[in-house]
Amino acid sequence: MNNSAEHAPLEPHAPWYAEVTRYQWLILIIASAGWVFDVYEGQIFNITRDQMLGDILRQDAAGVKEYGDQFLAIFLLGGTIGGLLFGSLADRFGRRPIMIATILMYSVFSGLTYFAESLWQVAVLRFLVAVGVAGEWAVAASLVSEVFPARARAHASGIFHASSILGTWLAAMAGILVGSQWRYAYLVGILPALLILWVRASVKEPERWQQKKQTADAQLGSFRELLLNPQWAGRALLGMALAAVGLGTFWSVTVAGQDLARNLLINSGSTAHQASQGAKFAYGIVQATGGGIGLLAFGPICASIGRKKTFILYQLLAIAIVPITCFGPQTYYQLLAILPLFGFLTLGIHSGFAIYFPELFPTHLRATGTSFCFNGGRLAAVPVLFFSGWLKAYPGVELSWAVTGLATLFLLGILLIIFLPETRNQELLE
């Protein structure tokens, strides 16, 4: 079976999917399935953390909030280490075996969270889950970009990353169904282990990687070449900083939609349980739907106007929508009406990472460079998470003002993308 992305040119007006083969669709489905559960593993903590930390730590609301953001920082740290490690290994040993290893890792340690009884146990398990989650994303993003033809690459990679919304929905529904019995939601995280059988049976190494593997002078997965070769070092560092903006704003701004909904419901007289359930629905279903549309839209938009312009457009509009969302709605239903747009604009740029980062690096450094950008961005975002937790828990600081202030990070993202190259309508680097 030919899994190459090389095809004869089609008519200019042919739809982007006209030259996509059955095998390429299969790869997109498998990569997306892995990413769905990746996101579930991250989001299930965000959705159940009040119940989990309340049970384990027995802290007041402010204390649980502060610890919650610090645990997210631990998750980002684990993601950095896992992403860098497995990204390099995927360039050295192939996409398929590393995808299998990462899926197995995050599914097993998610299931073990069911048995957690102490703070340090949760911290260790969340760290190990993140190691697997981050590694799987880097491999899957590289695989999709290498398998799909140039005209379909942005659309396919955008669909791949947009599938994350299914993971958010799954986490939201699990969180709502289990209520205060948060442990059962983590047992669901064992399910992606079943994907391993499908990966082993169906995924083949991309021809690009196989050819590069046979080249004697290819420095597969070399961080030395990535960071010391000026041709790639600037792209890697700027890409990492861009991802840090996206990840920092996601965990400090985007997920705050849940907290905004909870506060509004409590201030309106709802009980703590009613506010918790309503916030899960507002964030995990309503806002997530808008976020999913934003992720899907990024691919077609950047295929039309370019990667850089799309990043700038999304971030400019995100800066505008955040204060509107924080200060405009006076009722829960008004907030529900605006949360889809809030999700669209603050989350949508994440599809750009899956589309853009693999295009910045050659085949023998693709997973390494992609992972360095996205998962190195996790590490760079850790201080944002600690600052966010401190700021939101600081006496006298309202959540709306804290979230609006944190959203100014998007200005840094706009500045960074200006110094990166445009890759629209270009073949992948060999």
Mean pLDDT value across residues 34-50: 85
Share of the chain above pLDDT 70, in %: 94
Nearest to 135 by CA among 111, 165, 170, 100: 100
Mean pLDDT value across residues 275-292: 91
Mean pLDDT value across residues 152-166: 92
CATH of the domain at 245: 1.20.1250.20
pLDDT tens string 286-298: 999 999 999 999 9
User: 4 in a domain, yes or no?
Assistant: no
Check residues 179 and 105 and name the one with the higher pLDDT: 105
User: 428 in a domain, yes or no?
Assistant: no
Examine the pLDDT at 8 and tell me if it is beyond 60. no
pLDDT at 370: 93
Burial (Cβ within 10 Å: 0-12, 13-18, ≥19) of residue 306 = middle
User: 429 in a domain, yes or no?
Assistant: no
The pLDDT confidence band at residue 1, using thresholds 50, 70 and 90, is very low
Residue 305 has which token pair? 């106007």
Round the average pLDDT of the chain to a whole number and report it: 88
- Asked whether 409 and 245 are in contact (CB, 8 A), the reply is yes
CA distance 259 to 416: 29
The pLDDT confidence band at residue 129, using thresholds 50, 70 and 90, is very high
- Asked whether 99 and 136 are in contact (CB, 8 A), the reply is yes
pLDDT at 48: 86
Give the total number of structural domains in the chain.
1
8, 208, 353 from 147: Cα distances, Å: 15, 9, 17
User: 12 in a domain, yes or no?
Assistant: no
45, 162, 176 from 183: Cα distances, Å: 10, 27, 13
Torsional class of 20: left (φ above 0), alpha (ψ -120 to 50), beta (otherwise): beta
User: 5 in a domain, yes or no?
Assistant: no
pLDDT tens string 335-356: 999 999 999 999 999 999 999 9
User: 426 in a domain, yes or no?
Assistant: no
Residue 189 has which token pair? 């995280």
DSSP secondary structure of 296-339: HHHHHHHHHH-HHHHHHHHHHHHHHHHHHHHHS--SHHHHHHHH
Residue 179 has which token pair? 């209520």
- Asked whether 280 and 307 are in contact (CB, 8 A), the reply is no
User: 349 in a domain, yes or no?
Assistant: yes
Check residues 89 and 71 and name the one with the higher pLDDT: 89
User: 103 in a domain, yes or no?
Assistant: yes
Query: 378 lies in which domain range?
Result: 22-211+219-418
